[in-house]
Amino acid sequence: MTVSAAEVTAPDANGGKGVAVISEKFWSYIALLDGVVTPDRCTRLVERLAAAGEAGVRQFADDLAAAVNALDTPQHMSQAVWDVSEPADSPPVPMSDDVFLYARLAVVAAGLRTWRQVVADPGSLSGRWQVASAEELLEVAPRALEIATGLDWDHTPVVDVAAGSNDAAWGTTAVEDNDKWWNWYMCGHEYDEKAVRDGFDSVAYDLERAIDSDAAWRAWWSNAGVPDLEVYPYYTWSVVPKPRLGKGRKVVRVHYGFDAAILHRASTQDLPQLAAEHQRAMLLFVQSKLGLPETPPLPVLP
């Protein structure tokens, strides 16, 4: 699709005025994916983007966030989606905040024409997308910045991509989990195959629940102006990904990688200390990204 203007917009789901203004250059970068998110095509995109320098990388990150945010509406989130790898007769992927994010990333990766169509018609999101692989698009800008400058990723896009972040679409409607079992702090552990360490989740869970119920930590988090903090430590045998943070109106989500080999080298008696070190690392990352006050000491477990 040829776009002559320097910027492109999309109408909202009700046919109103444009809700996203995104540079034409962004869509020329996305076209390098040929509609499909794969490691090779993402690497090609990273290399091209890195050549644009730091300003170009940061603009790409802002444009990506704006494109994804434009798809963040209650109508879009109500659609059923399937991953392209699933059999034709399989049920839809259970909708969650993460699945909704990955589906929207897949729409962006499909290109300008598809994105405009899905922004204008939420029903067209219902279908088969690269839900499982689209997350890799989030790593393109951080990788490109490191190549271009040698710097770690420190950029917060002008809008957020978390579900419920598009205030114009959601208004006062909350994206809520009626089965919520925590007060403000939730930690969900993720592992590579065979990376789970017996006993670690148990000791980590005890500390996480203590943080969640601790008055000093709750007072600390109140400075964020967001009700919930969700952190997702990921234990991998491969290259540890750089941490990333997304802030919405209702929740801040952090994905933070750790080396699974360290987890498995630790003795059983050292697991509580390791769990504390990992919690501290994630919470200090949140503190630095959000400009929060100094963190309280971690609770002492019996």
Structure tokens at 190: 């993720």
pLDDT at 167: 82
Report d(CA 142, CA 45) in Å as an integer.
12
Q: For helices 53-69 and 97-109, what crossing angle results, to 10°?
A: 120
Across the strands, what pairs with 127?
Answer: 81
Report if pTM > 0.85. no
In sequence order, what are the residues at sequence separation of 6 or more whose Cβ sits closer than 8 angstroms to the Cβ of residue 223?
A: 292, 293
Of the listed ranges 161-165, 174-178, 249-253, the one predicted with least confidence: 174-178
Per-residue pLDDT of 27-46, as tens digits, reads 999 999 999 999 999 999 99
SS3 185: strand
Q: Which of 120, 150, 228 is nearest to 183 (CA)?
A: 228
Q: Decide if pLDDT at 17 tops 70.
A: no
- For residue 295, give both structure tokens: 């963190």
State pLDDT tens for residues 18-28: 456 798 999 99
Give me 36's structure tokens: 């499909």
CB atoms within 10 A of CB 194: 8
Output the pLDDT for position 15.
43
**Over pLDDT 90: what percentage of the chain?**
65
What is the signed CA dihedral for 192, 160, 251, 121, rounded to 10 degrees?
-90
Q: Specify the amino acid at residue 287.
A: Q
* pLDDT at residue number 178: 45
pLDDT digits (tens, 9 = 90+) for 52-82: 999 999 999 999 999 999 999 999 999 999 9
Residue 20's pLDDT is 63
Q: What is residue 97's predicted lDDT score, i.e. its pLDDT? A: 82
pLDDT surpasses 80 at 302:
no
From the number of C-beta atoms within 10 Å of its C-beta (0-12, 13-18, 19+), residue 37 rates as buried
pLDDT above 80 for 159? yes
Q: Match 């109106």 to its residue by tokens.
A: 249
For position 9, what pLDDT does the model report?
A: 55
> What per-residue confidence (pLDDT) applies to 18?
46
Q: List residues bridging with 81 in a β-sheet.
A: 127
How confident is the model over 196-211, as a mean pLDDT? 92
What is residue 5's predicted lDDT score, i.e. its pLDDT?
37
Q: Which residues pair with 233 in a beta bridge?
A: 256
Q: pLDDT by residue (tens digit) across 128-148? A: 999 989 999 999 999 999 999
- H or E element that contains 46: helix 39-50
- What percent of the chain has a predicted confidence (pLDDT) above 70? 90
